[in-house]
Homo-oligomer: A and B are copies of this chain.
């Protein structure tokens, strides 16, 4: 399992005892990314066994309370738990200023550094994070305030070298990494072995996209095309289409239309309005368009294998 998503909150606007505000932790190859951080996120981290000290990168989609009010508590608890490693926060510059004010007011001992990366809102994918195996990009959504979606991708993986054949041909260890990357192999006698005879296809690279909060945004389809897992807000059902439009939110059907157009693997909907005590109608509405739709709920785990 190379990618898993733990939902820590799936309510819009205000948290309830059953549905906290938006927060989720994505594990990509043991890199733990916190995406949004509504009030109570640290409580649900504890409830669902998320070790907050393993989180090194936090992405905040926009500066509405239901997407960041849990962050001061997380920063404070990380401090109390003795964190010393750098923490990266990707957010609007306004939130940076507000968190600085918080930390100053707390007079909180901060045994770790926070490194802020201000989001931009260019009409394209913008690289936020990259290491040897994973990239994270932002892309603009359309909501009442500047808002970003996020795209998490494993980099293409190495091809599978046929070990028996490699040993038979006595391919030196020093050449094998290049072959896994796609090189052909030229033996000492000059014989060229095309890569395709030496290797098999690599494992799939998994990907995840987060889109909340936003209107139905067709222009985002190319940015998220083919992701294994898409989280898309579905604040309302079509019964509240006008309200969705007025508040710059989406319906479950619209979320499913985006998933269908982008040919994603699975769709997870969330960010439900409190008016929906029973979520089945939202699920039914989305599945009519995109059958591989699932409901977020607090504690739910979605895995891509």
Contact = CB atoms under 8 A, between A and B. Distances in A.
B76 A107 contact: no
A171 interface: no
A15 B73 contact: yes
Contacts of A14: 42, 73, 76-77, 80
Contacts of A107: 145
Interface in A30-86: 39-40, 42-44, 46-47, 63-65, 69-70, 72-73, 76-77, 80
Q: Report how many copies the assembly holds.
A: 2
A101 interface: yes
Contact of A105 (B40, B73, B98, B106): B98
A1 interface: no
A188 interface: no
A94 interface: yes
A43 B46 contact: no
Contacts of A69: 72-73, 76
Contacts of A76: 14, 65, 69
B98 A94 contact: no
A16 interface: yes
Contacts of A40: 15, 39-40, 43
A247 to B, nearest CB: 11
A46 B16 contact: yes
A13 B80 contact: yes
Contacts of A105: 63, 94-95, 97-98
Nearest to A39: B73
Interface residues of A, number: 34
Contacts of A47: 17
A19 B70 CA distance: 16
Nearest to A106: B65
Contacts of A98: 101-102, 105
Nearest to A75: B65
A64 B101 CA distance: 14
A100 to B, nearest CB: 10
A72 B102 CA distance: 12
B39 A15 contact: no
Interface in A132-176: 145
| Interface-central residue, A47, A63, A98, A105, by most chain B CB under 10 Å | A105
B17 A43 contact: yes
15 contacts: A13-B77, A14-B77, A15-B73, A16-B43, A17-B46, A17-B47, A39-B39, A39-B73, A65-B72, A69-B72, A69-B73, A95-B105, A97-B105, A98-B102, A98-B105
Given A14-B76, A14-B77, A15-B40, 6 more contacts: A17-B47, A65-B108, A69-B76, A97-B101, A97-B105, A98-B102
Interface of A: 13-17, 20, 39-40, 42-44, 46-47, 63-65, 69-70, 72-73, 76-77, 80, 94-95, 97-98, 101-102, 105-108, 145
